[in-house]
Structure 1
Amino acid sequence: MQLSRRSAMFALGATGLAAMTNEPLLAARRRPFFERIGKPIGLQLYTVGENVEQDLDGTLAAVAKLGITDLELPGFLGRSPQQLRAAADRAGVRFSSIHLFAPSPFYPDALTILNPAQEIADALNVLGVRHVVMPSLPTPKGFQIPKERNIGLAIAAATNAGGVAYWKKGAKLLNERAMALRPYGISLAYHNHNVEFQPLEGTVRGWDILLEEADPALVRVELDVGWVAAAGIDPADELLRLRGRVQAIHVKDIMASNQPNFAMQQAPADVGTGMQNWPRLLRAAEAAGVSHYYIEQDPPFANSRMQSVIRARAFLGTIVA
């Protein structure tokens, strides 16, 4: 009996010691996620739509007032790099990434990913940006914007018609452009939607082909966790699977009513009000080595675009993960 009592006392002491030893770790885990990891909450300016094009200074000032200073550009917003940089400096924010599209019917006149590397580097040097993201592959040859049909469905149908060859060609383009930009100190990443996850031949997907054919030493990933979830895939699992390859994520939520699909369709929700398991997802992003976290939301919006940003920022600022 005495031995059992001693054993019990020893066990209690060991438990107490373990608790004290782990207390700093436990305390750290109770801190808000972004405070704990020391990284900023960012924003993809696509989220605020025409606001930023119509009132660049006012929009950047409003975003900065929320404590959001790490911004990703959806393009050049109809302005010169010099104008964009001056506005960012006035607001006290910085651009850390930019989306550059391939030439398409949607962006016929913009600086594209196919422009000479020197031209791209000159523009990005003004902005202070070192990361370029290709937000989609070139639309298939002959594609035209449909007048009556849903654009997302039309893009998905044309992409799937291209089959394996379309995705292999896309991976080749990513490698070539990444190689061209690398001497200028500029990295290239690819941003997904959900069309990439459509099975093509057997179980192979466009996503699998891109990841296999694109050189991981050259081409990183900007994982849009909303589009991943829209395809019926767990974003946390995908982040852990791509550990070391994910440069940034789009912090995006979708409604629980969203029907999994591969056709550029989703039911958007304000960040923190949808189906995403944010503690698990953010821990996976941290484990995967993610450097930038950009809030992004697609229309339609239940509130004003800026109200959705405010709501997302408030949620992310307090979440513990």
Structure 2
Amino acid sequence: MTYPVAYQLYSSRNFPPLAAQLPVLKAMGYDAIEPWLPAYEANPKLFRRQLDDAGLACYGFHMPLAGLVQEPNRFIDIALTLGAKVMIPPYVTAEERSNTSDYWQELGRKLGQGAALAAPHGLKVAWHNHDFEYVPLPDGTRPIDHIFEAGGPDVWFEIDCGWITRACADPAAELQRYAERIIAIQTKDTAPKGTTVDDGWTATGDGIIDWSALVPLFHRTKADHIVTEHDNPGDWQRFAQRSIDHLKALGV
């Protein structure tokens, strides 16, 4: 099985206009983009037309957790406009986070409630991890496990292998642990510890993650697409091209 590959537009947020990037990504071989707020917010219909004109799909999009809780219908409408199937809250700020299991359980319940509202529209809700979900709480448990335990079986997982590696956790173990929940795989790569160029991030295949060892585990998950991302590339086109070329060389 080969996967469709999406590009997270957050990667090139510092190189506007975003619309001009779309045909470039298509020419590189990308099948889709994964937008983040506010890329699509001002005019979702226009954004969809730009995707259609470039021949790109949108499988999922990043959105605020607060949007899922407080404005679910608005973001459901955006999902339907974009043609997306997965609504993905990706982050809570350090100020919002609490170092308790109760906090993370409540976050999971919010995702579960959002998933129940999205389901009648043919939509799914997934959580996207950073590093902090893998930092043990004072009681030794992990936030990521609380999120999915409380969220229930209808909360999916967009797994970010780069952030897991940064947290000194094992992406191979997490791919196996949550195989039945993983709906998308971000192949974010990280340079050796201490690297400061591009904040230590790098193109897929140029960092320390052994992707050839992880690819067989991809196929044991429920993932139906791959997403490339880099949090701060100096050259977004180089990152995008090298990443998709490496994935294709691996037969992903």
TM-score, length-scaled by structure 2: 0.91
Q: Percent identity?
A: 25
What SS is found at the alignment partner of 1:222? strand
Aligned twin of 1:69 = 31
Give 1:162 shift: 3.9
**1:201/1:162 Cα in 2 relative to 1: closer, same or farther (>3 Å)?**
closer
CA distance in 1, matches of 2:185, 2:64: 18
2:230 maps to 297
Q: Mapping of 1:34-183 within 5 angstroms?
A: 37-51=1-15, 54-77=16-39, 78-103=41-66, 112-137=67-92, 139=93, 155=94, 159=97, 161-183=98-120
Query: Does residue 254 of structure 1 match 2:190?
Result: yes
8 Å CA contact 1:194, 1:228 repeated in 2: yes
Conserved 8 A contact 1:135-1:192: yes
Cα deviations across residues 243-286 of structure 1 (Å, max 9, x unaligned)? 11100011111113269xxxxxx731221111111011111111
CA distance in 2, matches of 1:57, 1:171: 34
Contact 1:41 1:294 in 2 (8 A): yes
Conserved 8 A contact 1:247-1:291 = yes
Distance 1:95 1:62 in 2: 16
Instruction: Quickly say closer, same or farther: Cα 1:136–1:158, change in 2 above 3 A.
Output: closer
Change (3 A) 1:201 1:79: same
- 1:198-213 residue pairs with structure 2 within 5 A? 198-213=135-150
* Deviation string, structure 1 residues 185-222 (Cα, Å, up to 9, x no partner): 11000001010111113321111211221101x10000
Q: Distance in 2 between matches of 1:221 and 1:39?
A: 17
Checking the alignment, whether the CA contact within 8 Å between 1:56 and 1:87 is kept in structure 2 is: no
Structure 1 SS opposite 2:65:
coil
How many Å separate the matches in 2 of 1:45 and 1:170? 25
Aligned to 2:240: 309
For residue 43 of structure 1, give the secondary structure of its aligned residue in structure 2: strand
Larger Rg: 1
RMSD: 2.0
Structure-2 separation of matches of 1:285 and 1:316? 12
Normalising by structure 1, we get a TM-score of 0.72
SS of structure 2 residue aligned to 1:121: helix
Deviations 1:100-141 (A, max 9, x none): 1134xxxxxxxx22344333222222211121001024x4xx
Report how far residue 88 of structure 1 moved. Answer: 0.6
Separation in structure 1 between the aligned mates of residue 162 and residue 174 of structure 2, nearest angstrom: 12
Task: Say whether the 8 Å CA contact 1:49–1:305 is kept in structure 2.
Answer: no
Instruction: Tell me the SS of whatever aligns to 1:94.
Output: coil
Q: Using the TM superposition, give the Cα deviation of residue 317 of structure 1 relative to its aligned residue in structure 2, in angstroms.
A: 1.7
- The answer for the alignment partner of 2:207 in structure 1 is 274
- 1:240/1:284 contact within 8 Å kept: yes
Q: Quickly say closer, same or farther: Cα 1:116–1:65, change in 2 above 3 A.
A: same
Q: For structure 1, which runs of at least 5 residues remain unmatched after alignment?
A: 1-36, 104-111, 140-154, 260-265
Match of 1:318 among 214, 235, 249: 249
Task: Give the CA deviation at 1:320.
Answer: 4.7
